[in-house]
A and B are shown apart, each in its own frame.
Chain A
């Protein structure tokens, strides 16, 4: 299994809603990532988890809350989002952990297209 699975594929939410994005991989990877991608722009790193611990937070607003319940799962909890948060949210994983993980190939999920109304 070389897939990173993300659910849901599409999500529409109001600014007062609370929702969660889910990501799962069964490749035994120890590093997992959240990226945000606006239309026609490159992906931007949000969070990195290494061995289930948050290792990088790219100054992301607190309305985005990541969670890594175990080495195979990664969640992104959303609360009180703004319309400008509408984007494609990509989860990725890589084999190694820590800084070394950044040297490894990232496997990306198919993403969640989020629209905030």
Chain B
């Protein structure tokens, strides 16, 4: 059974700092997705990573995929309060399985 694990599960960071969220998955897949969810809200698609070595950047967020290591990272640069949310990675096999989620809190 596919397992998708993220760490950390909870991250409290100061504005202006950098940090990385990790997503490990247990089976072969060359497609990985990152979503953002605000409390009580729906999921917003951030990145779609479609091949080994893929790197995508949007604003202060950068995502990468290493299919050989079965690892994706979401790097946060110079965090701001607006980035506070829960971030999910999701892996495709025959269906989309979401990771455990990382709840990010950015404080002044």
Contacts and interface: CB of A to CB of B under 8 A. Distances in A.
A110 B95 contact: no
A110 B101 contact: no
Given A42-B88, A42-B99, A113-B40, A105 B94 contact: no
Contacts of B103: 40
B100 interface: yes
* Chain B binding surface SS class: strand
B96 A108 contact: no
B42 A110 contact: yes
A81 B64 CA distance: 41
B94 A106 contact: no
Interface in B68-108: 88, 92-101, 103
B43 A43 contact: yes
A110 B41 contact: yes
Nearest to A33: B96
Contacts of A107: 45
Interface string A89-117: 01000000001001101111111010000
B45 A102 contact: no
Contact of B45 (A42, A48, A106): A106
Interface residues of A, number: 21
Contacts of B44: 108
Interface in A48-92: 48, 56, 88, 90
A57 B92 CA distance: 17
A90 B45 CA distance: 14
Interface in B2-34: 31, 33
Nearest to B47: A105
Contacts of B99: 42
A48 B48 contact: no
Interface of A: 40-45, 48, 56, 88, 90, 99, 102-103, 105-111, 113
29 contacts: A40-B103, A42-B88, A42-B99, A42-B100, A42-B101, A43-B43, A43-B88, A43-B98, A45-B95, A45-B96, A45-B97, A56-B95, A102-B92, A102-B94, A102-B96, A103-B92, A105-B45, A106-B33, A106-B45, A107-B45, A108-B35, A108-B42, A108-B44, A108-B45, A110-B41, A110-B42, A111-B41, A111-B42, A113-B40
